[in-house]
Amino acid sequence: MTNYLYQNDLPDNLNLGNMIAIDTETMGLNPSRDRLCLIQISCGDGDAHLIQISSDQKIAKNICSLLENPEILKIFHFGRFDIAVLFKQFNVLCESVYCTKIASKLVRTFTDRHGLKNLLHELIAIDVSKQQQSSDWGNPVLTQAQIEYAASDVLYLHRVKEELDVRLARENRTDIAQACFDFLPKRAQLDILGWPDNDIFSHS
């Protein structure tokens, strides 16, 4: 279990396989206003790869080729936000995505608690602290607590996905989930293009 910290991009020739968990930390919750500070990636082996992004950075060659690669599935939790932030920063729209929050909403209809903390607790009996969530991710020197928190947001997503996939199959909602995942990058793009709060499918 190692947390690797990089500046600006992943190293060349790092093979993370065909399914990665990914999360971002930003200066706030408005993807049009608040800049990307950190990208966390794990291939589900207990290691986390954390990449600090500088404020004016527009290019991250290795990260963008991962994001655009349709052969590599990206597991997010509330991917709508992360995909929008990554699109805003690098002008690259993710392909092949899975979102544990959407999957949870489609199968855990008995609750409105779909936060990552809730999913980790209920589905794989892991308890994490969310204390660092609203800390200053723009700080060039991250604290150990920030690094551990950031890593914990990607370390368990493969296992959460596995549990959710079983439940999606049980409830016959695998296909509708996949359709939502297929649309998700475009939904995130609409957020950035100026339709953040509109349901474009609604009558009004």
Where on the chain is the footprint of Mn ion (CB under 5 A)?
23, 153
CB of 58 to Mn ion, least distance (A): 22
Cα gap 24→36, rounded to integer Å: 7
Q: Go through the chain and tell me how many residues it has.
A: 204
Q: Could you tell me if 90 and 63 are in contact, meaning their C-beta atoms sit under 8 angstroms apart?
A: yes
The smaller minimum CB distance to Mn ion, of residues 130 and 186, is found at 130
- Beta carbon nearer to Mn ion, 10 or 150: 150
Smaller CB distance to Mn ion: residue 35 or 168?
A: 35
CA–CA separation, 100 vs 14, rounded Å?
25
What is the closest distance, in whole angstroms, from the C-beta atom of residue 92 to Mn ion in the complex?
20
Shortest Å distance, C-beta 38 to Mn ion: 8
Let me know if 167 is exposed, middle or buried by CB neighbors in 10 A (0-12, 13-18, 19+).
Answer: middle
User: Quick one: 153 or 191, whose CB is closer to Mn ion?
Assistant: 153
Name the residue whose CB lies closest to Mn ion. Answer: 153
Q: Which helix (H) or strand (E) holds 100?
A: helix 100-107
The minimum distance between CB 153 and Mn ion, in angstroms, equals 4
